[in-house]
Amino acid sequence: MAFGRSSRSRRPVEPVTLKILVAGGFGVGKTTLVGAVSEIRPLRTEERLSEAGRPVDDLDGVEAKTTTTVAMDFGRITLREDLVLYLFGTPGQDRFWFLWDELAQGALGAVVLADTRRLEDCFAAVDYFERRDIPFAVAVNCFEGADRFPTETVQAALDLDPQVPVLMCDARDRSSVRDVLVAVVEHAVARVDRLREPATT
């Protein structure tokens, strides 16, 4: 019996898996972002804020926050049949930054989540990825009551390279977060392509 091409069962596609970090200041919405888009139950390492941490944890602007990420958040999203992203949310407080180097290993790129009410809180994340040459996009989490600014204004305030994408998003909304992740992947891939281009004389 002869088997034509049409009778063959389609081989499953082996997806490419990419690692993306989600960083930003304390209370900016990193855990919410990972949870909103993850197709699996996200791993969270949150602990209740304690009196012992009060002297070192800046709650200005996030006074209602009662928990904090102490290691990482983890989630997964399938962007296409052949492309899966693993999301690693970093802790936002200075005292947990020693974990960032471990989390950053093997990352294709990163999302820097920002809050226009406390824009300075994401400076450290921007500086971290710039120094380590990790492609990133800035996503402004549009909190209720926060002032809205054009992306150009945010880009200038953070002194970003013109090629760094800046997007407005709602960290609670799956489609909004997905758009941010697509932008990060596209930015990172375009950057790799530019580096591969032969130098012109």
Q: Are 79 and 178 in contact (CB under 8 A)?
A: yes
pLDDT at 196: 80
β-pairing, 16-24 with 109-114?
Answer: parallel
The tens-digit pLDDT sequence of the chain (201 residues) is 454 445 456 677 789 999 999 999 888 999 999 999 999 988 765 555 444 444 444 545 444 444 554 458 899 999 999 999 999 998 866 666 678 898 899 999 999 999 999 999 999 999 999 999 999 999 999 998 888 899 999 999 999 999 999 999 999 999 999 999 999 999 999 988 887 877 655
pLDDT at 96: 65
- Classify residue 58 as exposed, middle or buried by CB count within 10 Å of its CB (0-12, 13-18, 19+): middle
pLDDT at 171: 96
pLDDT at 78: 96
pLDDT at 125: 94
Task: Record the pTM.
Answer: 0.79
- Classify residue 60 as exposed, middle or buried by CB count within 10 Å of its CB (0-12, 13-18, 19+): exposed
Q: DSSP letters along 7-24, please?
A: GSPPPPP--EEEEEEEEE
